[in-house]
């Protein structure tokens, strides 16, 4: 993806010239509306016929009929790379290959997209089919209990699963091919630096620490004496017990519990049978 707008526009015009034969100038396009440009390209793609393909095929074959010459012409004029299998086809029938390639040129990207979708969906569907076959193989022996031949049932169920896989692949491929949309790529945001530069005069962390070191050495004793005495941290339960021990409790504020009332501890027993029980006298 081109980050420079001028370079991206020049690349787009080169692509339009190679695929549709339109000499668009990057400095002055036919329209500034992307929808209008798309409409013109669609009309041009529909207008490309056998007559124009024959004209361009004659230009290609005039350079040479060998695989190297035809590959070089397609790379320069159409921005298309010829594969190894296509080079073998050129050696067999150069004229027919060039004409077919030029007729298929407007939908070259769509063909590559369809091939990618088909391979992706077929790969996952084939894995699911193998998993289903393993499940059928594990349970096929139980068909004998219903007076059925396991071998015949295995062939029948395997064929059914395979046909269902083919239908699923066709449905998903056509669904994605007709409903798929290309989404624009969002530029990545550069991560912010983890730490900002410290220090007003020095601009670095080391300089800030170096400038603060003399003051810290000279006033360490004064700062230590000026700080209040701090107690070590205690757990919450220990802190509550220490606070309760330091604060005096007024005996008049403690509620009086009757002997037959429920014990405040929550045990459900009467107070005289729980915490209000008198200790037994020792003999």
Has residue 140 been placed in a domain? Answer: yes
Express each pLDDT in 256-280 by its tens digit: 777 778 888 877 788 778 877 776 6
pLDDT of residue 248: 57
If asked whether residues 70 and 121 sit together in one domain, one would say no
Average pLDDT across the chain, whole number = 76
Distance CA 248, CA 113 (A): 83
If asked whether residues 19 and 102 sit together in one domain, one would say yes
Express each pLDDT in 22-67 by its tens digit: 888 888 788 888 888 888 888 887 777 777 778 888 888 888 888 8
Q: Of 179, 199, 219, which residue constitutes the final position of a domain?
A: 179
Has residue 63 been placed in a domain? Answer: yes
Has residue 101 been placed in a domain? Answer: yes
If asked whether residues 34 and 71 sit together in one domain, one would say yes
Has residue 246 been placed in a domain? Answer: no
If asked whether residues 27 and 114 sit together in one domain, one would say no
Check if the beta carbon of residue 18 is closer than 8 Å to that of residue 77.
yes
Has residue 228 been placed in a domain? Answer: no
If asked whether residues 125 and 38 sit together in one domain, one would say no
Q: How many CA atoms lie within 13 A of 233 on its CB side?
A: 2
Express each pLDDT in 106-138 by its tens digit: 777 788 888 888 999 999 999 999 999 999 988
If asked whether residues 98 and 12 sit together in one domain, one would say yes
Has residue 280 been placed in a domain? Answer: no
Q: Of 135, 150, 179, which residue constitutes the final position of a domain?
A: 179
Has residue 59 been placed in a domain? Answer: yes
Q: Of 179, 209, 228, which residue constitutes the final position of a domain?
A: 179
Split into its structural domains, the chain has a count of 2
Domain containing 62 equals 5-106
């Amino acid at each position: 993806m081109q980050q420079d707008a001028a370079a991206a526009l020049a690349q787009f015009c080169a692509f339009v010239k190679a695929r549709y034969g339109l000499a668009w100038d990057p400095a002055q396009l036919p329209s500034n509306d992307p929808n209008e440009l798309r409409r013109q390209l669609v009309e041009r793609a529909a207008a490309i016929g056998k007559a124009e393909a024959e004209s361009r095929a004659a230009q290609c074959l005039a350079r040479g009929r060998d695989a190297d010459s035809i590959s070089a012409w397609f790379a320069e004029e159409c921005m298309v790379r010829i594969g190894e299998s296509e080079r073998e086809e050129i050696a067999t029938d150069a004229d027919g290959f060039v004409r077919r390639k030029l007729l298929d040129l407007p939908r070259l990207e769509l063909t590559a997209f369809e091939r990618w979708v088909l391979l992706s969906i077929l790969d996952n569907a084939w894995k699911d089919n193998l998993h289903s076959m393993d499940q059928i193989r594990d349970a096929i022996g139980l068909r004998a209990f219903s007076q059925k031949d396991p071998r015949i049932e295995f062939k029948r169920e395997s064929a059914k699963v395979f046909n269902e896989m083919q239908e699923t692949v066709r449905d998903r491929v056509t669904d994605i091919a007709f409903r798929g949309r290309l989404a624009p790529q969002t530029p990545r945001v550069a991560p912010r630096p983890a730490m900002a530069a410290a220090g007003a005069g020095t601009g670095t962390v080391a300089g800030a620490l170096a400038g603060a070191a003399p003051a810290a050495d000279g006033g360490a004793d004064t700062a230590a004496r000026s700080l209040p005495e701090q107690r070590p941290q205690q757990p919450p339960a220990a802190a509550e017990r220490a606070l309760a021990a330091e604060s005096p409790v007024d005996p008049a504020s403690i509620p009086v519990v009757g002997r037959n009332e429920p014990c405040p501890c929550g045990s459900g027993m009467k107070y005289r049978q729980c915490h209000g029980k008198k200790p037994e006298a020792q003999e």
